[in-house]
Amino acid sequence: MKCFILAGEKSGEEHALSFLPELMQQRPDLKFWGVGGDQMQSLGVQLFYHFREFSTWGFLEAIKKLPFYFAAMKKIEAEFIKQDCRVAILIDYQDFNLRLAQRLKRQGIKVFYYVAPQAWAWKAYRAKTLANCVSALFTILPFEKKWFLDRGVSQVKSVVHPVWLHHQANVKNNINNIRQKNHFKDNERPLKILILPGSRVGEIETTLPVFLEAKKELSANLKREIEWSLVAADHLSWDKMKENLSDIKILSSTKLADALLEADLCWAASGTVTLTCAAYAVPTVVGYATGLLNEFIIRTFIKYEGMISLCNIVHGKLLYPEVLQEKFTAYEIIKFTKIWLSDESAWQNIKTELFKTPEMLKGEVNVSHELAAIIK
């Protein structure tokens, strides 16, 4: 039986990897094809497109790529008919996937949507679209199920967050080390700071220079040795950047868990990775900036004024400092970092809150078990 799956960016592939291997074991009769990355392909997914072709950053880049998206949507629809495929799993990537879901629904194809669009932040009308075109909506944040149910999406299932699915065994196996780790207790060893600049070329070009400037200033002013590391997205080329990273340990994205177990604190671009940092109870400064046009569009058309870090959204409070847009500077990053380095109580308080993260990510059901049962 053919099953289409679409992960249009690296984070979507990571979400897929949290359930796809188990689903393949439970349903060996399913043959997967669609959009994804190298790791999905290594599992046996036949790639119709690589997510590199879909990846964009910011509104302007997305607008420029509209002809590609429309052409890709038509090709995918035609391929459904060619392969006689009647089932689709769409992962996040909301602008493209919601339009594709509507088209597939008209063809009588069952659509299972994993990682609900953040309609609670903006474009609440998307709830009606989901109610009309998906056979099941899988929500991953604690409050989302009720939000969508209240807006007419009856087929909602709250599932274990993919971050926890992917990392729970590692966190549980190392929980004692995670709880005991404290940079105050051993001032003789180097302080370990991990940089997580993002997974898209555009955001890395924006975030990495600021993180590196902050690194230079902190190294010069802090009277303690610092051991720097950086997790680099494997699907991108880092050759041009290596000359600026000579004194930083570069790690594959497959080593993120190991890096977080070692890190005393992180500097991270906003994204799913901030929730991974929280699962490992690593205090993190979250930074992000986008271009002037993107900022204008966001401020003009998006009325959401809440927190942007997933860790903060899940906890419902500002645990991770968010330095955004004009405040995304080396000065701001260092300011919050020094608070944690100079005040043990501030350090312990955030760690105590972060230890609550796993319980918030458990959901009600396991997505691979649900999909195995309902794909027919």
For 217-232, how does the pLDDT look when each residue is reduced to its tens digit (9 = 90+)?
999 999 889 999 999 8
Residues 172 and 245 both lie in one domain:
yes
CATH number at residue 37: 3.40.50.2000
Alpha helices in the chain (DSSP H): 10-17, 20-26, 38-43, 51-54, 59-64, 66-83, 94-106, 126-133, 144-149, 162-173, 175-180, 201-221, 256-262, 273-279, 292-301, 310-315, 330-342, 344-354, 357-360, 367-374
Q: Are both 208 and 323 inside the same structural domain?
A: yes
- The tokens describing 124, both together, are 């609440």
Check whether residue 91 and residue 232 sit in a common domain.
no
Higher-confidence position of 290 and 212: 212
Residue 300, pLDDT above cutoff 60: no
101 vs 88, 110, 119, 140, CA distance in Å? Answer: 9, 9, 16, 19
pLDDT at 237 over 80: no
Rounded-to-integer distance, Cα 103 and Cα 240, Å: 41
Residue 307: the pLDDT is: 84
Give me the pLDDT at residue 341, please: 92
Q: Give the pairing type, strands 191-196 and 156-158.
A: unpaired
Q: How many residues does the chain have?
A: 376
Do 319 and 187 lie in one domain? The reply is yes
Burial 91-116 (b: 16+ CB within 10 A, else e): bbbbebbbebbebbbeeebbbbbbbb
pLDDT score of 289 more than 90: no
Note the Cα 86 to chain centre separation in Å. 28
Mean predicted confidence (pLDDT) in 226-242: 78
pLDDT of residue 238: 64
Global pTM reads: 0.82
Q: Containing H/E element for 285?
A: strand 284-288
Are residues 179 and 153 located together in one domain of the fold? no
Q: Is residue 78 exposed (0-12), middle (13-18) or buried (19+ Cβ within 10 Å)? A: exposed
74 and 216 both lie in a single domain: no
- pLDDT-based confidence at residue 292 (cuts at 50, 70, 90): low
Q: How confident is the model at residue 240 (pLDDT cuts 50, 70, 90)?
A: low
Per residue in 39-62, pLDDT (tens digit) is: 999 999 999 999 988 877 666 667
Report, as an integer, the average pLDDT of 176-202: 86
Listed range (120-124, 237-241, 304-308) with the worst mean pLDDT: 237-241
Based on the domain organization, do 356 and 368 belong to the same domain?
no
pLDDT at 350: 95
Report the range of poorest mean pLDDT among 27-41, 108-122, 155-169, 228-242: 228-242
Tokens 């992917």 appear where?
166
**DSSP codes joined into one string, 149-204:** HTTT--SEEEB--HHHHHHHHHHHHTHHHHHH--TTS-TTSPEEEEEE--SSHHHH
Task: Please tell me whether residues 154 and 189 are part of one structural domain.
Answer: no
Q: Give the pLDDT band (50/70/90) at residue 302.
A: low
Q: Based on the domain organization, do 95 and 150 belong to the same domain?
A: yes
Instruction: Answer yes or no: do 27 and 173 share one domain.
Output: no
Residues 133-184 pLDDT 10s:
999 999 999 899 999 999 999 899 999 998 998 899 999 999 999 998 888 7
What Rg value do the Cα atoms of the chain yield, rounded?
21
Residues 141 and 191 both lie in one domain: no
Taking residues 283-293, report their average pLDDT: 80
Same domain, 185 and 260: yes
Query: What is the domain count for the chain?
Result: 2
Residue with tokens 């996040």: 92
Tokens for 45? 């997914």
Which pLDDT value is given to residue 241? 63
pLDDT in tens, 335-352: 999 999 999 999 999 999
Percent with pLDDT over 70 in the chain: 91
CA 367 to chain centre: 17
Region of residue 44 (phi > 0: left; psi between -120 and 50: alpha; otherwise: beta): left
Q: Give the mean pLDDT of 246-260.
A: 91
Residue 105 scores a pLDDT above 80:
yes
Tens digits of residue pLDDT in 346-372: 999 999 999 999 999 988 889 999 999
pLDDT at residue 296 above 70? Answer: no
Domain span holding position 343:
167-360
**Dihedrals phi, psi of 174, to nearest 5 degrees:** -115, 20
Give me 168's structure tokens: 């729970």
CA dist 150 and 127 (Å) reads 10
pLDDT, residue 1, reads: 94
CA distance 216 to 318: 27
